[in-house]
Structure 1
Amino acid sequence: MSGASREGAHGVGQELVIEHVAAGYGKVQVLWDVSVRVAPGEFVAMIGANGAGKTTTLRAVSGVVRPSAGSIRLGGREISRATPSDIVKLGLAHVPEGRELFPLMTVRENLELGAAMRPEAARAQAETLGQVYRLFPRLEERAGQLAGTLSGGEQQMVAVGRALMARPSVLVVDEPSLGLSPLMTQTVFQALKAVNEEGVSVLLVEQNVGLSLKLADRGYVLENGQVIREGSGADLLRDPAVREAYLAL
C-alpha cells in the first residue's frame, strides 16, 4: 500500500460520528458525554490518562460495549445498537489493546480470519493478503509460524494486518505501541499512516502522545469520560496544558 493517493484498494474512508455517548460496565459508568468526529479519510488521535475512557470509547464504536446514551454513526448509519459482526460488515475494523490473536494458529490463519466477516473481503482475500505482506514483509516471512511464538512487535503487525484483511473504510486502533521497542513502534505507526493515505479513516488511541499527535490531522483529549480539549494535532502539541500533562514539558 503506497501513500500516493487518498483512494486506494479500500476506497475513501467513511465518516465516523460519536455524539454525547455515555457507556460503562454494569453499574460502573466510564463515559459520560463523549463526542468525537472522524471525517472521511481523516487520521484522528484520542489521548488521555489511564482510565480516561479511551478504550471504552473504541469498544462502544465497535459494538463490544453498548452505549447507555448518545449516538454513533458510521457513514450516516446509526450503529450504537448494532452487533460487532454487523459493524465489521459495514466497514469498521477494530485493532484491540492486547492484540487478541489466536496463539496456536499460524500468522496466515490469523490474518485470513480478518476477511471472514465480510463477503467482499473474502472474495478479495488473496489480493488483500498481498497488500498486508507488502506493508509488513516480516509477516510473509513468518506466515507459517504460530502467532504465539512471535515477538510483541510482530504480533502487533498481525493484529493490524488482520483488521486490514476486512478491507475496512474505518480503522480504530487501541494502544498499538504498548510494550513495543521505539523502532517497532515507528514501523507500526508508519504502516497506519500509509493505510490512512490510501483513504482509510483512522481513529487511534495511543499512549505515545507526541508521536500520535504528529501523525494526526486532529486530536481529542479525554478526561474522566469526557472530551476536555480538541484541535489539530499540531495545535494540541503546542497546547501548554497538553505538554505539561502528557509530554512532561
Structure 2
Amino acid sequence: MDLRIEQLSAGYGKVQVLWDVSLQVSAGEFVAVIGANGAGKTTLLRTVSGLLRPSGGRVRLDGQDVTRATPTRMVQLGLGHVPEGRELFAQMTVRENLQLGTAVRAEAKQRQAAGLEQVYALFPRLEERGSQLAGTLSGGEQQMLAVGRALMGRPEVLLVDEPSLGLSPKVTQTVFGALKAVNAEGVAVLLVEQNVAQSLTLADRAYVLENGAVVQEGTGAALLADPGVRSAYLAL
C-alpha cells in the first residue's frame, strides 16, 4: 500500500501551517520528514490521518482519495498513527491499551493474539507490564506502548510522530529498531522526527519541511551528506 500527498494545505482556523505539500511513501518504503520545531510536521501527520481537515490538496491511499476520510475510516483502510505525546489511556492497563488498537479493523480484531505476539516480540517489557496501568509506566515504556497499540491495528502504512522525544538514547534505539523491523516486514513508514541523524540513517528517502513547505528531498544518505542539511540540523 502506498501513500500520496498532493499539494496539501492545512492549518488551524485562519492560521495556515502547510502550504502545497507533496510527498510520496511507496509500499514498503521508510520515509522521513525532518524540520525544526514549528515547521508543520505534526500538522502534516494529523491532516493525513483525518484528525485535521485540509484546506486544499489531496491524500490518496493506494490510489483511493481519502482526503475527507475520518480517522476511523483511515484505520480501517490500513493506516496507523503514533501521535506525538502518545495519547494513551492512563487508567487502563498495558494490555487493554493494546487491545484497543484492534477495535475498528476487523482483521486486526480477528488476529488479536498474533498482534500481541508481534508487539511483545518487539517490546518484551510490555508483556512484563501487561497488567500495569499505562499512566504508571516510564516515558520510554509509554512510547513503546503507543507504537505497539498502532501496530495492533495491522497497518500497512504507519505514521510516527516524534518517537524519540524525551527518551534516553538506549530507549530511542529500541524504538527505532522496532520501526525498522516493522518496515522490513513490509509496512511503509512515514516518520517525522527531530533526531535528524537517526532519521536519515534509517530512511530510504526523506523530505525537508520548512515553514510548512517542502524545500528539499532526496535519499536519506544524500540528505545526511548534504552540507546545508548538516549545517542547519546537525550543527556540523
TM band (smaller chain): over 0.9
Identity of aligned residues (%): 73
**Runs ≥4 residues deviating over 2 A:** none
1:206 aligns with one of 193, 196, 199: 193
For 1:57, the equivalent position in structure 2 comes to 44
Matching of residue 111 in structure 1 with residue 98 in structure 2: yes
**Residue identity matched to 1:16:** L
3-state SS of paired residue (2:22): strand
Matching of residue 123 in structure 1 with residue 110 in structure 2: yes
TM-score by length of 2: 0.99
Q: Deviations over 1:69-114 (max 9, x none)?
A: 1010001111110000001000001000000001110000000000
| Structure 2: 5+ residue stretches without partners | none
| Structure 1: 5+ residue stretches without partners | 1-13
Alpha-carbon separation, structure 1, partners of 2:74 and 2:57: 17
For 1:11, the equivalent position in structure 2 comes to none
CA shift for structure 1 position 211: 0.3
Alpha-carbon separation, structure 2, partners of 1:136 and 1:182: 16
Number of equivalent positions: 236
For 1:188, the equivalent position in structure 2 comes to 175
Q: Deviations over 1:182-207 (max 9, x none)?
A: 00000000000000000000000001
For 2:124, the equivalent position in structure 1 comes to 137
1:168 aligns with one of 134, 140, 155: 155
Alpha-carbon separation, structure 1, partners of 2:128 and 2:138: 14
CA shift for structure 1 position 33: 1.2
Q: Deviations over 1:156-178 (max 9, x none)?
A: 00000000000000000000000
**Residue identity matched to 1:41:** G
Calculate the aligned-residue CA RMSD, in Å: 0.4
Alpha-carbon separation, structure 1, partners of 2:107 and 2:115: 11
2:10 aligns with one of 23, 43, 61: 23
Matching of residue 39 in structure 1 with residue 26 in structure 2: yes
